[in-house]
Structure 1
């Protein structure tokens, strides 16, 4: 369920404003919708954070990930002394790397010209002998005017190298000028070698800073907390005498907040959330349903405060979709073993491990019912017990049970359409339950949508599977449902019936298009069948490729084909779950519910680390 919120206001004397914020942060109760603000203090803190974050990443990248150094705790004073030192080393590292890169490029240019001292050329220039260097082809060199004085040098990169005396070549002549630069080849090579040696020392010192990585993480968290504190501080309103702050509080925390306010001597007020407020969403998951939280966290989806909490239904349908898309009991066992290993390693089952347990068991069950074990018919034939677990009408190997492939496929497709119809119908029912207590007449429109969905299901069966349907009855039900949506779709609390009716008639064509889309929504659930069949076909193909290699010297190759092939199939299946399994919940189901997933998670203003 979505936990109801209260809007809280706190008023204190202006000089106690920041003290109130520190006490409020320590309590960790109030969610404050802080906006992105900038002031000099925040900019300085953000700059320090960015520099520290960049330095920490450099130090981390230099570590041997298999043998991380033991960590040393240091005081804030010592840490910032170390920070200044390592920041200087990082700047030196960047400077050396840039100089080495520039010198390397220049050395490559000078290699063909050989070693020389640019100062000697400059001295000749002071004495009146100005030299200009070029590379030019033999053909173009012969075409030079005889009045041009030049000295022929050793060839450079397949071209003739010359030094003209006194005058430069005309730009129209196809010759490439060469700049001597400030330093010669020998000097640059020595400087590069010196820089590389110095860089090694700097990198070694930065690598040794790995013993303070935990200290860097701690200080970064402190800076993030300080930045948030300043951002919240900008939300204080008032004048020289009084300041106040507002935020949102779960109703379950009201008593704790009241006790805190009385202890600290704050003036406060608690109001119900108004229609124009935008409170955060706090979901209290029913027992056993919290395992779906990692999926929401990965997707970054949060229902709006006034929307339905669909976590229970999301878990049920997502589990079914996962099982049908992966579709193989053998793969399910692999997931189950993975969950067990993660459980043993962590010594406890967190929500992610529990989710893998649920999904793997569901996959094993579905794979057993369809007789799919690593896409191999031979395994099913060799183990009679596995055949007893199969429901023949949905089996991927129906010929073993005296059925045709067409019969089994039609049954699975029908099952997919039933799932779609049930899920979309459930959305309509949830909307009705949600709206009736609010005296929202638009619930009648949801009944109309429910009628349309149930009727269109039979149209889908006739068009895809060929099951006959009484189209006159279907058309009558769809028409009645359409009429209910037009009349009641724009009704709502505080809206006069006539005004809602006019609005509904104005959206007549849009409602017509949405009714047609209900047909395509049911049809879209066929993707469960299609992706599941594709997974089986891919597994069978790799089994076939490896089949002739599982003996003699080729056995290693055959095993390799099986491992790589099935691994690839598992990865593709997981991607399909994201693309298709999640889509059916977030688009078709949520769209029917009218959910936009535009909520913001309840994140109270809190102290994340202990300050010294």
Structure 2
């Protein structure tokens, strides 16, 4: 994948033709409007009716829908949206009232159905209700107010206390029950009324669902009109002419010339320079198209930088596989993906996501076979054992492998940072120096640990690693001094600035060790799978009810472990790319290319 080169185009035409030219550009749909405020030029430039969106969401949420109308002469957008929102508000209020009535019924039902007598007929005395546990019945003997047990359950006493005023909160060791003034029969009647009203409101929503298509059509037309008005506000009018600046893909300049000739407007075009801040338009490769989704999760790269999509695509899949570390889990995820494969066909986003998921599953399956874990069970002596090349319990080898992958990731990031604009030689020297420091430090650690076995009595591998580390250290310093001298900062200041980047050596060390989480999380996932298997088999061998318990442990344990592994794989896989990799790769931060286009009326 790569970032599409753009040219800055200035369109000019007669003011009388402004609407026609803007309509032509909008239907062309390949231009990005340049706003006066560059920071806001990448912002959303379409304004949708908020009420219309709420109404659409409400109507589409109905369990049943009528056939949608595409043409209806008496359709009134504002009136239909207002009616839908009114039904939505009434539904919400009715559901809230019904829930309160149901809660009140559950509270009152154990006390029975009774009416309160008028207070003036009984000397303004009132009933106060308490639900007292059997174990605290002795508290009733200490009451000075009249009381009566009107009912009981296995554990509770239903006590009524008679008093003109509300008793003290400490009268009984429980708080009183707030039953309200309505008898149970009246509450049940209110419940029936609200349920009937609820059915009528659901039916009204069902009737309104036939206007979903017309509402969408109206909103699309409004969006297109709003976008056109926004473009008109960016035009500069002077002397009977107007001008509009846009970004256009460089490869479309020839067809834009033809468009200008047929629609009678003039334009000038120039290549974007270092002072411009063009939007970022990624050109997806069919093999790494899903990587653009990952690039957009955190931030789009800067136009003048480089496209990290392919790197994110490959390394994210690898990191996810190392954290999952189980071929059985990978096969299960592959089965789930297969079930939803056709459902994801209906949208471009779904198609991209399913291929990304497929690569993640295949990579996880391959890694799971290498580490020999199938739902926490080793392959034994079968043919799969010949593919079991890595042992998760070999801490030293797995840590070395994880750190090596981290070093490789950082080295790739450093050299990828040179892909954008033509980098000065000083930057090449610094990036090569950081890569040499990462490789030298890794091999020094690796050879020092192996010197007592593989390289017994031979120190030259360690010396070579130390030399590579020192060479990288010098290259970073020289590159920094060189860059400072090119900025005309003077000898002494350049020397001082040359040593400052060397302080990032500790950052390089920390970022490299951060990749050990791949081994730690993978080992944790595999260990939990083995533990759940052991607990389950211990119960299964006992038979009887323990057999059912063992099966539940097996099912529940692996479900939880798989969920945790997926979460860790996604979170930490993205973290290593967006923090460690981005810090050294320097892809910058850009804003998206938003085409000035018309939304299609797909049902016309």
Structures share fold, TM-score greater than 0.5: yes
1:289 alignment counterpart: 288
Query: Is 1:609 paired with 2:594?
Result: no
Distance 1:529 1:245 in 2: 55
Report the Cα offset of residue 85 of structure 1. Answer: 3.9
Specify the alignment match of 1:12 in structure 2. Answer: 13
Q: Matched residue of 2:75: which SS?
A: helix
**444, 455, 465: which is aligned to 2:440?**
455
Matched, 1:410 2:396: yes
- Is the contact made by 2:319 and 2:569 (CA closer than 8 Å) also made in structure 1? yes
**Structure 2 residues without counterparts, runs of 5 or longer:** 129-143, 146-158, 167-181
Q: Deviations over 1:160-185 (max 9, x none)?
A: 3479xxxxxxxxxxxxxxxxxxx999
CA shift for structure 1 position 535: 0.6
CA contact (8 A) 2:478 2:498 kept: no
CA offset at residue 92 of structure 1? 5.0
In the TM superposition, residue 29 of structure 1 has moved relative to its aligned partner by 0.8
Going from structure 1 to structure 2, the CA distance change for 1:192 and 1:544 (only over 3 Å counts) comes to: closer
Q: Is the 8 A contact 2:298 2:578 kept in 1?
A: no
Q: Which moved more, 1:210-219 or 1:260-269?
A: 210-219
CA contact (8 A) 2:7 2:269 kept: yes
Q: Please name the residue that 1:373 is paired with.
A: 374
Aligned residues: 543
User: 1:442, 1:492 within 8 Å by CA — same for their partners in 2?
Assistant: yes
Q: How many angstroms apart in 1 are the aligned matches of 2:510 and 2:500?
A: 15
Gaps of 5+ in 1: 122-130, 143-155, 164-182, 397-404
Q: Deviations over 1:523-548 (max 9, x none)?
A: 11111111110110011111112113
- What is the aligned partner in structure 2 of residue 210 from structure 1? 209
3-state SS of 1:605 partner: coil
Aligned to 1:54: 54
Select the residue among 311, 316, 329 that pairs with 2:309.
311
Question: In the aligned structure 2, how far is the partner of 1:266 from the partner of 1:485?
Answer: 53
The alignment partner of 2:385 has SS state of: helix
Judged with a 3 Å threshold, the aligned counterparts in structure 2 of structure 1 residues 283 and 115 are, in CA distance, closer, same or farther, namely: same
Q: 1:264 and 2:249 equivalent?
A: no
Partner of 1:243 in structure 2?
242
Query: Does the CA-based 8 Å contact 2:416-2:585 persist in structure 1?
Result: yes
SS in 1 for 2:569: helix
Residue number in structure 2 paired with 1:160: 163
Contact 1:455 1:477 in 2 (8 A): yes
RMSD (CA atoms): 4.5
What is the aligned partner in structure 2 of residue 428 from structure 1?
414
- CA positional deviation for 1:508: 5.2
- Measured after TM superposition, the shift of residue 158 of structure 1 is 4.9
* Cα shift at 1:106: 12
Q: Is the 8 A contact 2:481 2:498 kept in 1?
A: no
Q: C-alpha distance in 1, partners of 2:265/2:473?
A: 56
1:481 to 472, 495, 498: 472
Quick one: distance in 2 between partners of 1:385 and 1:531? 27
Equivalence map 1:8-47=2 (5 Å): 8-33=9-34
CA–CA separation in structure 2 for the residues paired with 1:209 and 1:500: 75
Inter-partner Cα distance in structure 2 for 1:369 and 1:185: 68
1:100-119 superposed matches below 5 A: none
Which residue of 1 is the match for residue 233 of structure 2?
234
Secondary structure class of the residue paired with 1:234: helix
Give the conservation status (yes or no) of the 8 Å contact 1:135–1:162. Answer: no
| 1:525 alignment partner in structure 2 | 515
Deviation at 1:447, TM superposition (A): 2.0
Q: Does the CA contact (< 8 Å) of 1:218 and 1:609 recur in 2?
A: no
Offset from partner CA, 1:273-299 (integer Å, 9 cap, x none): 1322221112223341223334335x2
| Stretch moving more, 234-243 or 331-340 | 234-243
Distance 1:98 1:364, change over 3 A: closer
The match for 2:391 is 395
- Taking the aligned partners of 1:537 and 1:465, their CA distance within structure 2 comes to 27
Mapped to 1, the partners of 2:288 and 2:301 lie a distance apart of 16
1:2 aligns with 2:10: no
CA separation in 2, counterparts of 1:76 and 1:542?
Answer: 65
Distance across 2 between alignment mates of 1:347 and 1:188:
51
Give 1:334's aligned residue. Answer: 332
CA deviation digits over 1:455-513, x for unaligned, max 9?
Answer: 221354478889898877666654543343234237569x7364286665444564232
The 2-side partners of 1:231 and 1:600 are apart by 18
> Does the CA-based 8 Å contact 1:460-1:523 persist in structure 2?
no
TM-score (normalizing by structure 2): 0.75
The 1:370/1:217 distance shift into structure 2, 3 A limit, reads: same
- Cα offset for 1:187? 11
CA separation of 1:210 and 1:445: change in aligned 2, threshold 3 A: same
